[in-house]
Chain A
């Protein structure tokens, strides 16, 4: 599938919002990949951190939403510390999470979570998780 890139996607409200919340200029990332090379959580991500910021630069919100990356990010800030361009990617990740949460969409259906899983999860994690992931 071809992606559509236009003035609208590049300067969309989504891009503006990510930049405003994270206080980062997305386009200063020059895609060297060092964030991905050093990310300790990369093994569990379906897209690399450098790919996420690329998608954000291009305003491709849906592709970011489809990936698990922003939820796997542990905010360890290894990427932010090593970024040659001084982009605080951890804050960009946080902004992306916030934007998603503020959509007030149920990301999980509580009744559908299997009993066994609930039994395994600590309560704090469940409460925190529901706060983040439900409307």
Chain B
């Protein structure tokens, strides 16, 4: 390059260096034929100036200093290519620094000089055109994955939805009712689940996981592992007669292993998670099935009218090719055992466990009873920030939804047990969603939910009661209370196995395992790899509203990609 132009952007936000000196120093560099300071290069008039100068000065190389190349590079590049140059003939360089004017100026000159060297050495990138396979893989069938799948499928493209449990629905379907409007998931989520199951453009691989991913945007090759269900799902008609006769009673993962009186929350060895499962297909739990463990029984086989039971079934693999991937692998809760000063006890529950007990479609049909003795609890304490906001013992971040779901459950409990009393121990009440603050106010004034400000220090059983040691920092008094039931607002973590999944996809995760978005404010749905998008709690704790919005957002990204027929992949050339 022999005719290089250097454009030093200088807006009011960047009045921290002596641009005159910078321009003077740079204009003396070899091959620099134009160097000048401009105001607001990122705006249309500034971009026009760049274009005009490229033409008038017959520039063959352009160097632009701007505040954030990440954000501005694209418009700058467009302006430069519009003026007839190739993209590699431009470099954008960030010259912001936080020191005194003199040092900033020196640093800027240094940064521009090395960027000039880089510019001169740059080669045209190697470009390959990849035709886009207009199919999408969605990983995770929670509300995020469901929303994304439906939106893409409605857009006319084929969706392959991979869910590792044997029904879609995610955590939401386990809840009693959802804040802030108190509609039940069985009413608002099941229609979407059914729609997903019936949609012509959606194929669900339930009880399946991602084995391997290769390729890149436009053309990913994915190997899916279908775990052995020991039931031929193609033959099975979902009548569930197999389950009725199955002898073992086992604690159920869907019921969070709740051990309720009269084994209300137990499942059989052959089982479906719940009555609205999609797909409605059972699996055999090999560890508890009498045939697998003791070599006899086969009652399910006899009961099945479709001859679908297959004790010899092996896991199988499906290979697909897709143009884009949406990751919606959701969250898990931090285990209760993580907090040593809160005892492990049948009547000390985490959020989802209590949701199951409150849930009309749950194991107790919504009758609120204690797991230990089946009695109706008359006093319930809810504990916020269990593991969240605790950089010393847990995670430093706020899990965002616990404030809301704890008060929701307190309110639902009061609706079920009219002579009950609830207490919520909190540090700060965070209710920033639409209608959230009003929800809390309603719970306090209409449903007698009493807030106590202080983090709980110890929880332990004392005879028939659970003792809670807390504080009310507002009165400056220490609190000791004996309640019937305790509910812990455990921190939200990324779902188990997230690291392995991210590694297979080649996408970045943060120190907690949440998937990293390309830009926290401006590109929240894009992962660090082009063509792989993020939705829901896999990217960070959030409520259903935000999850659904992000699911729809990720779908729109995929639809925008699929509106084109090919992507141009650029790879840096090597000498």
Point out residues on A near B: beta carbons under 8 Å: 30-39, 42-43, 47-48, 50-51, 78, 82-86
What's the Cα separation between A82 and B385 when bound, in Å?
13
Known: A32-B455, A85-B392. A37 touches B479 (CB 8 A): yes
What's the Cα separation between A29 and B471 when bound, in Å?
16
> In the complex, which residues of chain A have a beta carbon less than 8 angstroms from the beta carbon of B470?
33, 37
Shortest CB-to-CB span from A43 to chain B, Å, is: 8
What's the Cα separation between A50 and B92 when bound, in Å?
51
For the A-B complex with A33-B470, A85-B391 known, give 13 more contacts whose Cβ atoms are closer than 8 Å: A31-B473, A33-B454, A33-B472, A33-B473, A34-B457, A37-B455, A37-B456, A37-B471, A38-B457, A42-B478, A48-B477, A78-B457, A82-B341
Chain B 454-465 per-residue mask, 1 if CB under 8 angstroms from chain A, else 0 = 111110000000
> In the complex, which residues of chain A have a beta carbon less than 8 angstroms from the beta carbon of B390?
84-85
B69 at the interface (CB under 8 A from A): no
> In the complex, which residues of chain A have a beta carbon less than 8 angstroms from the beta carbon of B469?
37-38
> In the complex, which residues of chain B have a beta carbon less than 8 angstroms from the beta carbon of A31?
427, 473
B235 at the interface (CB under 8 A from A): no
Shortest CB-to-CB span from A84 to chain B, Å, is: 4
Known: A37-B470, A38-B469, A48-B478. A84 touches B454 (CB 8 A): no
B100 at the interface (CB under 8 A from A): no
Instruction: Report yes or no: A33 in contact with B392, Cβ–Cβ below 8 A.
Output: no
What's the Cα separation between A48 and B470 when bound, in Å?
12
Most chain B CB inside 10 Å of its own CB: which residue of A33, A35, A43, A47: A33
Instruction: Report yes or no: B458 in contact with A37, Cβ–Cβ below 8 A.
Output: yes
> In the complex, which residues of chain B have a beta carbon less than 8 angstroms from the beta carbon of A43?
478
Could you give 16 example pairs across A and B, Cβ below 8 Å? A32-B385, A33-B427, A34-B456, A35-B457, A36-B473, A37-B454, A37-B458, A37-B479, A38-B469, A42-B478, A48-B476, A51-B476, A82-B341, A84-B392, A84-B394, A84-B455
Chain B 379-414 per-residue mask, 1 if CB under 8 angstroms from chain A, else 0 = 000000100011111100000000000000000000
> In the complex, which residues of chain B have a beta carbon less than 8 angstroms from the beta carbon of A33?
427, 453-455, 470-473
> In the complex, which residues of chain B have a beta carbon less than 8 angstroms from the beta carbon of A35?
457
Instruction: Report yes or no: B457 in contact with A82, Cβ–Cβ below 8 A.
Output: yes
> In the complex, which residues of chain B have a beta carbon less than 8 angstroms from the beta carbon of A51?
473, 476
> In the complex, which residues of chain B have a beta carbon less than 8 angstroms from the beta carbon of A32?
385, 389, 427, 454-455, 473
What's the Cα separation between A52 and B39 when bound, in Å?
53
Instruction: Report yes or no: A39 in contact with B478, Cβ–Cβ below 8 A.
Output: yes
What's the Cα separation between A105 and B455 when bound, in Å?
37
8 Å CB contacts to A: which residues of B429-474?
453-458, 469-473
8 Å CB contacts to A: which residues of B314-360?
341
> In the complex, which residues of chain B have a beta carbon less than 8 angstroms from the beta carbon of A34?
454-457, 471
> In the complex, which residues of chain B have a beta carbon less than 8 angstroms from the beta carbon of A83?
392
Which listed residue (B385, B392, B427, B453) contacts A86, Cβ 8 A?
B392
What's the Cα separation between A34 and B456 when bound, in Å?
6
Instruction: Report yes or no: A48 in contact with B391, Cβ–Cβ below 8 A.
Output: no
> In the complex, which residues of chain A have a beta carbon less than 8 angstroms from the beta carbon of B479?
37
Which listed residue (B391, B427, B471) contacts A36, Cβ 8 A?
B471
What's the Cα separation between A48 and B475 when bound, in Å?
10
Which listed residue (B391, B472, B478) contacts A84, Cβ 8 A?
B391
Shortest CB-to-CB span from A53 to chain B, Å, is: 11
What's the Cα separation between A43 and B24 when bound, in Å?
72
The chain A residue sitting closest to B469, CB to CB, is: A37
> In the complex, which residues of chain B have a beta carbon less than 8 angstroms from the beta carbon of A39?
478
Instruction: Report yes or no: A84 in contact with B471, Cβ–Cβ below 8 A.
Output: no
> In the complex, which residues of chain B have a beta carbon less than 8 angstroms from the beta carbon of A48?
471, 473, 476-478
Known: A84-B389, A84-B455, A86-B392. A38 touches B341 (CB 8 A): yes
The chain B residue sitting closest to A34, CB to CB, is: B455
Which listed residue (B385, B394, B457, B476) contacts A37, Cβ 8 A?
B457
What's the Cα separation between A84 and B456 when bound, in Å?
11
> In the complex, which residues of chain A have a beta carbon less than 8 angstroms from the beta carbon of B455?
32-34, 37, 84
Instruction: Report yes or no: B427 in contact with A47, Cβ–Cβ below 8 A.
Output: no
Shortest CB-to-CB span from B565 to chain A, Å, is: 53
What's the Cα separation between A84 and B341 when bound, in Å?
12
Most chain B CB inside 10 Å of its own CB: which residue of A31, A34, A35: A34
> In the complex, which residues of chain B have a beta carbon less than 8 angstroms from the beta carbon of A84?
385, 389-394, 455
What's the Cα separation between A132 and B116 when bound, in Å?
69
Known: A33-B454, A38-B457, A38-B458. A50 touches B391 (CB 8 A): no
Instruction: Report yes or no: A50 in contact with B473, Cβ–Cβ below 8 A.
Output: yes
Most chain A CB inside 10 Å of its own CB: which residue of B469, B473, B479: B473
Known: A32-B385, A48-B478, A50-B471. A86 touches B456 (CB 8 A): no
> In the complex, which residues of chain A have a beta carbon less than 8 angstroms from the beta carbon of B454?
32-34, 36-37, 50
| In the complex, the 4 A-B pairs of residues with the closest C-beta atoms, listed nearest first | A38-B457, A33-B454, A37-B457, A84-B390
> In the complex, which residues of chain B have a beta carbon less than 8 angstroms from the beta carbon of A86?
391-392
The chain A residue sitting closest to B474, CB to CB, is: A33
Shortest CB-to-CB span from B490 to chain A, Å, is: 14
Instruction: Report yes or no: B478 in contact with A37, Cβ–Cβ below 8 A.
Output: yes
